[in-house]
Structure 1
């Protein structure tokens, strides 16, 4: 669990290739900006992040791996020379061309993998290697590094005993908690309308300190079943309660505004909920099918970032806010 929480800066370089469905581009951009501190274009020609920030790639639903840079050279020949100096300590390896860099044909990719692999002093193993070396070509440089593939732990959370048809998907819930608390060490989070616990499960699997509340007893019952299913003790984690009556204070919150196919939440109720959100948390992520910019600003919340999540004709709006 400690690895999932780790996020530090150092003189080292890390490369994170990423991918997202077009319906979640805004959310991917918001999450990557929160995690790495600068704007990343999900539709750009080179979908990867190059940064000194170290995180576990399992944290994000959009990161495919982390590559810890070992060698970076302008000259291909110099990269090969330095690759020959790598010490493997009797471990097996394979070389993988990272497609998120400069595009090359299938034949070129395999040729480069073989060329680097033939230089490295060690035993190649294509199926279950001890080490995976990533090879990236970008902007006139060749980069070689140790790769750590993301395990996509959130995929396991898709199969819950209890679900809402309109509930947040597991990758969306995971991205939302990362946006709300990119550096979660020492922070306390809350999901004040937790439903069946999708946000709670993703936050807990990352190692975050989070609790959930919901005014609906059936939702709380379902959340407890889901939490138990994934090995979490729900005692103290989820309780029946109106968010407007919460008197504790939290560092961050994820609020998925109640949604009903047949009716719209009255404006005065939205204002009341947003006012309570501002009171109980410093930073918050708000999700709603309704446009809430006017109400958000009216209660004194400052919008730091925003985007949309698309699902057919259904649109969810997402706002990252801070209390002024």
Structure 2
């Protein structure tokens, strides 16, 4: 097959429900430095589509043109040799009116492009799948990849409880905390049954777990092993952590296994200050003042919904030494 050289650009399409928009956009900002009201985004950032619970498809751009005829001209130079291929024009929701193409026209376009490519088409099991997408008034042709919903397979765990994050939210949280895993060391010091840990480890994120409750530590280890993953989960309070991490994720304890008072929540946040520069907090109640008291500042935030249950997700950066806890919180 004649070598096809990508341009270094990628187009991602998104699928999410209305309640998931804030969380999806926050993940976009973590990955790409920006979000969009459209359900498509073009970027030079290379993200495997299966990492995100919201990315539907990815097009690795090979060439582009202002017109469809320009795409056909360039496609005629593609020589597949012995490799088989197929061309698809994916169904893309929420395109601008100028970019909308009807179903039959899409099939006709697929056939026209397939006819000019040198090689043998195979619509069932091709060696390479090409895609064509209109975006921003231009046409883009490239290598197409459909996302695999890995998080969906993690829904059935040996150990679970009802107030744990959903696997979908947990995967997005892990991505927001660690969008670029290479060289990053992370920890979930209140990991519970390991919902975030499972998602992080399945994406190759170097994340350790820890919890003060021996029952949930055992459950977390069992869940990790159940999915064939390898990860460390230690028993102990967050205050005993002495090693340094690039990022920490804290889902504030509030369930029937481990409930933290306001004073204990403040102590958890303050204990994170010495060992991490970046902190992602999941909370069911406003804790901005606690974040500030702990020596962090909030740099991004969103609301994640699960039916009528709301969680706030806060991305924080370390700023200064923690201030003294509010006198009210010091009272027994």
Question: What TM-score do you get using the length of structure 1 for normalisation?
Answer: 0.90
Q: Deviations over 1:259-284 (max 9, x none)?
A: 23799742211211111122221111
Q: 1:79 aligns with which of 71, 86, 103?
A: 71
Contact 1:275 1:299 in 2 (8 A): yes
Q: Matched residue of 1:89: which SS?
A: strand
Shift of 1:212: 0.7
Shift of 1:11: 5.8
What is the distance in 1 between the residues matched to 2:57 and 2:258? Answer: 42
Q: Deviations over 1:120-139 (max 9, x none)?
A: 22222222221111111123
What is the distance in 1 between the residues matched to 2:259 and 2:241? Answer: 24
Structure 2 residue 208 is the aligned partner of structure 1 residue 216: no
Q: In structure 2, what is the equivalent of residue 145 of structure 1?
A: 142
Structure 2 residue 295 is the aligned partner of structure 1 residue 291: no
Structure 2 residue 173 is the aligned partner of structure 1 residue 176: yes
Structure 2 residue 181 is the aligned partner of structure 1 residue 189: no
Q: Deviations over 1:160-190 (max 9, x none)?
A: 1111111111121111111111122112111
Q: 2:54 aligns with which of 48, 59, 62?
A: 62
Q: In structure 2, what is the equivalent of residue 158 of structure 1?
A: 155
Q: In structure 2, what is the equivalent of residue 5 of structure 1?
A: none
Q: In structure 2, what is the equivalent of residue 123 of structure 1?
A: 120
Q: Which has the higher contact order (CA 8 A, sep 6+)?
A: 1
Q: Deviations over 1:295-323 (max 9, x none)?
A: 11222211110001111211000001110
Q: In structure 1, what is the equivalent of residue 27 of structure 2?
A: 31
Q: In structure 2, what is the equivalent of residue 313 of structure 1?
A: 308
Q: Matched residue of 1:64: which SS?
A: strand
Contact 2:253 2:259 in 1 (8 A): no
Contact 1:99 1:136 in 2 (8 A): no
Say if 1:11 and 1:133 are closer, same or farther in 2 by CA, change over 3 A: closer
Q: In structure 2, what is the equivalent of residue 19 of structure 1?
A: 15
Q: Matched residue of 1:85: which SS?
A: coil
Q: In structure 1, what is the equivalent of residue 250 of structure 2?
A: 255
What is the distance in 1 between the residues matched to 2:158 and 2:258? Answer: 27
- CA-atom RMSD in angstroms: 2.0
Largest Rg, 1 or 2? 2
Question: What TM-score do you get using the length of structure 2 for normalisation?
Answer: 0.88
Shift of 1:99: 3.2
Contact 2:81 2:118 in 1 (8 A): no
Of 262-271 and 299-308, the range deviating more from structure 2: 262-271
Of 304-313 and 106-115, the range deviating more from structure 2: 106-115
Q: Matched residue of 1:275: which SS?
A: helix
Of 184-193 and 293-302, the range deviating more from structure 2: 293-302
Say if 1:262 and 1:183 are closer, same or farther in 2 by CA, change over 3 A: closer
Structure 2 residue 39 is the aligned partner of structure 1 residue 47: yes
Q: Deviations over 1:48-100 (max 9, x none)?
A: 22111222222211112321111200122121111111121222222111333
Shift of 1:144: 0.7
Aligned length: 309
Q: In structure 2, what is the equivalent of residue 201 of structure 1?
A: 198
